[in-house]
Chains A and B, each alone.
Chain A
Amino acid sequence: MTLFQDTSGDPRAARSLVADVLAWYGAAGDAAMGNSPGFAARKASLACAFAQIADLPEEQRHALAFAGLLHAAGAIGNAAYRKGEHLAERAARMERWDVPAQGARICEAIAALPAQTADMVRWQAEAWDGTGFPDQLRWYGIPKAAQYLALADCFLRQGDPDEALRGIAFDSGRAFNPEDVRTFTMWFHRHGGQAELLGLPIDSLDERHTDAGSLLDEFADRIDAHNGVGARWRRVAQIAGVTAKALGLPPDAARELGVACRIYGAGEIDDAQVEEESFDPLARLGVDLRAGNAASAAELAQPHAALEAASKIVGMRGEWFDGTGKPYGLSHKRIPIATGILAAAIAYDGLDRGERLDTAAGTQFDPNVVRVLLEVAKTLA
Chain B
Amino acid sequence: MIELPERTRRISPSRVHEILLAHDCKSVVDPFMGLPTHLNYLKRHGIAVHGGDLLEWFVRAGEGIITNDLTILRDSEVAELVEMLPGRIYSLDLFKAWEGVFFSEEQCVYLGVWHDNVHNLRSDQQTGLAILGLWRVFCYWLQKAQTPDDMQDVPPSELAWSYIRQTEQWVTPNLRHNTVRQGDVLATMGAQKADALFLAPPARNSFRSADARIWMWEAWWQGNPYFTIEHAYRDSLLGARAADPAAYARAMQTILSAAESYSVIIVQTTEQRLSEIEPIVTSARANVEIVAPHPFEIYLVATT
Where the two chains meet, the residues of A that have a C-beta atom closer than 8 Å to any C-beta of B are 93-94, 98, 101, 104-105, 119, 122, 129-131, 134-141, 169-170, 172-174, 178-179, 181-182
Query: Does B254 belong to the interface (CB within 8 Å)?
Result: no
Question: Which of B40, B44, B152, B294 is close to A169, meaning CB atoms less than 8 Å apart?
Answer: B152
Contact B8 A94 (CB under 8 A): no
Report how far A174 CA is from B163 CA in the complex, Å.
10
The residue in chain B whose Cβ has the minimal distance to the Cβ of A166 is: B152
Q: Which of B113-156 contact A (CB under 8 A)?
A: 136, 139-140, 143-144, 147, 150-152
Contact A172 B152 (CB under 8 A): yes
Question: Given A134-B14, A139-B4, A178-B147, 7 more contacts at CB 8 Å?
Answer: A129-B139, A131-B163, A135-B14, A137-B10, A141-B9, A141-B10, A173-B147
Report how far A230 CA is from B148 CA in the complex, Å.
54
Contact A130 B172 (CB under 8 A): no
Contact B150 A135 (CB under 8 A): no
Known contacts A122-B14, A172-B150: A94-B293 contact under CB 8 Å: no
Question: Which of B9, B12, B140 is close to A135, meaning CB atoms less than 8 Å apart?
Answer: B12
Contact A135 B169 (CB under 8 A): no
Report how far A181 CA is from B10 CA in the complex, Å.
22
Which B residues lie within 8 Å of A101 (CB)? 14
The residue in chain A whose Cβ has the minimal distance to the Cβ of B65 is: A136
Query: Does B13 belong to the interface (CB within 8 Å)?
Result: yes
Q: Which of B1-41 contact A (CB under 8 A)?
A: 4-14, 18, 35, 37-38, 40-41
Contact B12 A122 (CB under 8 A): yes
Q: How far is the CB of A253 from chain B (nearest CB, A)?
A: 43
Query: Does B166 belong to the interface (CB within 8 Å)?
Result: yes
Which B residues lie within 8 Å of A134 (CB)? 13-14, 41
Question: Which of A138, A140, A170 is close to B152, meaning CB atoms less than 8 Å apart?
Answer: A170
Interchain Cβ contacts under 8 Å between A and B, 19 examples: A105-B18, A122-B12, A122-B14, A129-B140, A135-B14, A135-B38, A136-B38, A140-B5, A140-B8, A141-B7, A141-B8, A172-B150, A172-B151, A173-B143, A173-B150, A173-B151, A178-B150, A178-B151, A181-B150
For chain B, give the interface size range: 20 to 34
Contact B37 A130 (CB under 8 A): yes
Contact A139 B294 (CB under 8 A): no
Per DSSP, chain A at the interface is helix
Q: How far is the CB of B148 from chain A (nearest CB, A)?
A: 10
Report how far A227 CA is from B258 CA in the complex, Å.
49
Known contacts A173-B151, A174-B140, A181-B150: A135-B166 contact under CB 8 Å: no
Contact B150 A182 (CB under 8 A): yes
Which A residues lie within 8 Å of B7 (CB)? 140-141
Which B residues lie within 8 Å of A131 (CB)? 136, 163, 166
Report how far A174 CA is from B158 CA in the complex, Å.
14
Which A residues lie within 8 Å of B163 (CB)? 131
Known contacts A104-B14, A137-B12, A140-B7: A94-B152 contact under CB 8 Å: no
Q: How far is the CB of A39 from chain B (nearest CB, A)?
A: 23
Which A residues lie within 8 Å of B44 (CB)? 94
Report how far A136 CA is from B41 CA in the complex, Å.
8
The residue in chain A whose Cβ has the minimal distance to the Cβ of B12 is: A135
Q: How far is the CB of A314 from chain B (nearest CB, A)?
A: 35
Q: Which of A93, A119, A139, A181 has the most CB of B within 10 A?
A: A139
Report how far A173 CA is from B147 CA in the complex, Å.
9
Which B residues lie within 8 Å of A170 (CB)? 152
Q: What are the 9 tightest A-B residue pairs by CB atom distance, in nearest-first order?
A: A178-B150, A136-B37, A101-B14, A173-B151, A141-B10, A178-B147, A173-B143, A135-B12, A134-B14
The residue in chain A whose Cβ has the minimal distance to the Cβ of B142 is: A173
The residue in chain B whose Cβ has the minimal distance to the Cβ of A141 is: B10
Which A residues lie within 8 Å of B150 (CB)? 172-173, 178-179, 181-182
Question: Which of A98, A105, A119, A139 is close to B8, meaning CB atoms less than 8 Å apart?
Answer: A139
Report how far A93 CA is from B172 CA in the complex, Å.
12
Q: Which of A94, A134, A173, A181 has the most CB of B within 10 A?
A: A173
Which A residues lie within 8 Å of B12 (CB)? 122, 135, 137
The residue in chain A whose Cβ has the minimal distance to the Cβ of B149 is: A178
Contact A140 B6 (CB under 8 A): yes
Q: How far is the CB of A212 from chain B (nearest CB, A)?
A: 26
Report how far A129 CA is from B14 CA in the complex, Å.
18
Report how far A101 CA is from B21 CA in the complex, Å.
14
The residue in chain A whose Cβ has the minimal distance to the Cβ of B143 is: A173
